[in-house]
Amino acid sequence: MRRRVGAATAAALGCALVLGGCGGHDDGGGGGGKKDRPVSTAGEGSTQRPVPAGKGSKVDDDFNGDGARDLVLDDLVHRGHGDDAGIGIVYGGKDGLVPGARQLLSAHANGARTKGELPAAFESEASCDLDEDGFTDLIVSTDPPYDGQGPPPVPLQILFGSPKGLTGKAVKLRVPAQARFGNDWPDQPVCGDFDGDGADDLVLHASGARLTFLRGPFKRTGAPRAAGKPVTGPGNNLASGRATDVDDDGYDDVLVRKAADASGTAVSALVLGGPKGPGATGVLFPAGNDVAFGRFGRGKGMDAAIASPKGVALRYEVPGTPRGSLEAKDMAVDAGDLDGDGLSELVLSGGGSGSGGGAGEVRVLRGRTAGFDANASAVIAPSAKDTAKGTTQVLQVADFDGDKRADLVVRTYSGGSEGNGGSRDTVAVHRGLAGGDLVARKSQLTFSTEEFLALSDG
């Protein structure tokens, strides 16, 4: 049964605009200009280019320091390369991502050994400039050998950025003994400036409702500047997502969640940063399967959108009260300022029946002073031959071309599901627009993660 929604929301869902798929035909919303034409089509490949050399920048996810944002890709489409094909990096340029300027990071080529063994798993977890050299660094998760006796080893390793990007061997993240608690794996890293000193820190999951706080900057040996006793937080907290200064006090805050139940939902909480790092609990959120923060209205601080099997509940001005919900069953939530007006749009993806759109569609709600505009756009829809639930996912909502408007990066699987080595995929970048549909109807570029196979070390 479809849940009843308010008149404004019903109008929003009723005027949805659907695109025919990644890089589909241009029906007028994207301008159809030269910049909007796909530069690479999935499966055709793109010419390998060198990684541009940079001198350092303050741009997020800029591993080569050239001032352009880069994209990290896990779960690369692969065949015959084991369970983990590695991590793909697509480097950016002045006009956005350049699929040809790519690197493949693997455990064999880039992993650090533990007791003489290379890791089998090698997956990206978080990114920030840990050593303050102007080049973003990547924290990866591995699987070091463990005999089950005593505290497990730290599974996290750091690949430091450089003018050539992410190259060379990783170093192991060092977690001092006094910063650990219990026998859980020290994992789930989140980057942020939690103590407001201008340097990037790390928060990790510890055990028994504890968080490990590692103060930056970090040394090239993987050691933090300082680390104290674990911080007590609400619940069995698993740190989640990117840190955000939700309450506008100059200190980043971190979202923590309990382990999800069988339905994939879990209660979560916001742990607030401060001069001594994260500590106080800011707000407890109801159970859901995803949480996104954004400036959806003009209130002080940021707002939260909590996705759940029953819909998306909106909480304005954290730690305020719920302000209604959208009928968007089982959808993931993301946020970003796609039109450059200072307010965040809410991006809904991955919904099934009852979500207000077809399976796999991605929809956008425009941020407005009093909440959301009664205007929704379903900006991506899987092709007719691939309508399985969950085949389209939002990878990132961020500004890749430097025009001060976030872009929408989505990945669509065909011929199989995520992680299926026999499947194919398309990564598409849709530019944010100052008006109209919020994002270009036609993708700026498309490519496939299969293109990383040519870089495999075998």
The per-residue pLDDT for range 17-76, each reduced to its tens digit, is 222 232 222 233 333 333 433 333 333 456 889 999 999 999 999 999 999 999 999 989
Q: How far apart are CA 217 and CA 26, in angstroms?
A: 47
Mean pLDDT estimate for the chain: 81
| pTM of the shown model | 0.86
Are the beta carbons of 66 and 97 closer than 8 angstroms? no
Reduced DSSP (H G I as helix, E B as strand, rest coil) percent helix, strand, coil of the chain, to 5 = 5, 35, 60
Two structure tokens written together for 213: 């706080």
Q: In what order do the strands lie in the sheet with 290-294?
A: 290-294, 303-308, 311-315, 322-326
Q: Mean of the pLDDT values across residues 1-29?
A: 29
pLDDT of residue 313: 85
Residue 150's pLDDT band, with cuts at 50, 70 and 90, is confident
Residue 354's pLDDT is 41
Q: Which residue shows structure tokens 């608690």? A: 181
Q: In the prediction, which pLDDT does 80 show?
A: 58
Share of the chain above pLDDT 90, in %: 51
Whether the per-residue pLDDT at 277 is higher than 90: the answer is yes
How is the beta sheet containing 156-159 ordered, strand by strand?
123-128, 137-141, 156-159, 171-172
The per-residue pLDDT for range 88-141, each reduced to its tens digit, is 999 999 999 999 999 999 999 999 999 999 999 999 999 999 999 999 999 999
- pLDDT at residue 377, as a whole number: 59
How confident is the model over 246-266, as a mean pLDDT?
A: 87
pLDDT digits (tens, 9 = 90+) for 323-382: 777 777 778 899 999 999 999 999 998 764 344 445 567 888 888 877 666 555 556 655
Provide the token pair at 368.
């407005």
Whether residue 233 is predicted with pLDDT greater than 90 in this model: the reply is: no
pLDDT at 382: 54
Q: What pLDDT does residue 312 have?
A: 87
Does residue 250 have a pLDDT over 60?
yes
Report the run of H or E that residue 257 belongs to, with start and end.
strand 253-257
